[in-house]
């Protein structure tokens, strides 16, 4: 069953009229009575095709279900890497499940962030949600400096291959938490003084039970372990 996000709701119908999704719907060649799952306003609706045209698509609502809430909220602070790597990170962490992604600049950052790319990053996140049938659209935040990262409610972690703490052990010791905020450095990693400053703020350095990973791999492995351990 296909999966989409509606642009708005009109009475007992959901409407899609953005160009990208209309193009996708056209390629699918849906039948007039085809059923889909469509997300709108914190709910998933079972719908069937009512009308398809070049400018809009209408879907009749048949049933409604609440969106399943994950046990914990997960927020990623990602050292901004080269654009293609950041796009890959967004796509994959959204498929696994993430609540927000905040890029940041640090001492060893090698790429310059272009604010005009934010809409593209949001589009990639939406496409990843559709592909993975993930109804929880994450927030793609504006870039910040590493000095502006502050600990929040829950568990605050830094991924660092020289850390003494093992990620799985830290998770097992904190099973009652309801949110995790974690930091991954860019290609150049985090400077020692940056790690020290984050530790003083309350972040805990942890290492993954794996080899030293690339920045575009670290967040994926972290999320996979976290989701498994918190089941």
pTM: 0.88
Residue-by-residue pLDDT tens, the chain, 231 positions: 899 999 999 999 999 999 999 998 888 888 877 899 999 988 999 999 998 888 999 999 999 987 766 678 999 999 999 889 999 999 999 999 999 999 999 998 888 888 889 999 999 999 999 999 999 999 999 999 999 999 999 999 999 999 999 998 998 899 888 999 999 999 989 999 999 999 999 999 999 877 888 999 999 999 999 988 877
Cβ atoms of 69 and 90 within 8 Å: the answer is no
Q: Name all domains of the chain by residue range, CATH numbers in brackets.
A: 2-66 (2.40.240.20), 73-229 (3.40.1280.10)
As a three-state string, the secondary structure of 168-227 is: HHHHHCCCCCCEEEEEECCCCCCCHHHHHHHHHHCCEEEECCCCCCCHHHHHHHHHHHHH
Q: How many CA atoms lie within 13 A of 171 on its CB side?
A: 22
């Amino acid at each position: 069953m296909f999966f989409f996000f509606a642009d708005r709701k009109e009475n007992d119908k959901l409407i899609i009229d953005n160009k990208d999704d209309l193009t996708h719907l056209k390629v699918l060649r849906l039948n007039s009575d085809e059923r889909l799952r469509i997300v709108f306003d914190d709910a998933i609706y079972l719908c069937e095709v009512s009308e398809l045209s070049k400018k809009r698509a209408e879907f009749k609502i048949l049933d409604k279900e609440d969106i399943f809430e994950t046990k914990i909220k997960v927020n990623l602070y990602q050292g901004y890497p080269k654009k293609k790597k950041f796009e890959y990170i967004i796509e994959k962490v959204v498929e696994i499940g993430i609540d927000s992604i905040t890029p940041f600049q640090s001492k060893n950052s090698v790429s310059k962030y272009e604010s005009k790319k934010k809409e593209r990053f949001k589009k990639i996140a939406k496409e990843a949600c559709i592909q993975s049938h993930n109804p929880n659209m994450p927030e793609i935040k504006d870039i910040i400096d590493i000095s502006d990262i502050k600990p929040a409610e829950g568990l605050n972690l830094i991924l660092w291959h020289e850390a003494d703490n093992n990620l799985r052990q830290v998770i097992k010791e904190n099973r009652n938490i309801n949110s995790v905020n974690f930091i991954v450095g860019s290609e150049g990693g985090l400077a020692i003084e940056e790690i020290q400053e984050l530790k003083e703020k309350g972040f805990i350095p942890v290492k993954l039970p794996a080899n030293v990973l690339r920045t575009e791999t670290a967040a994926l492995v972290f999320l996979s372990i976290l989701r498994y351990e918190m089941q």
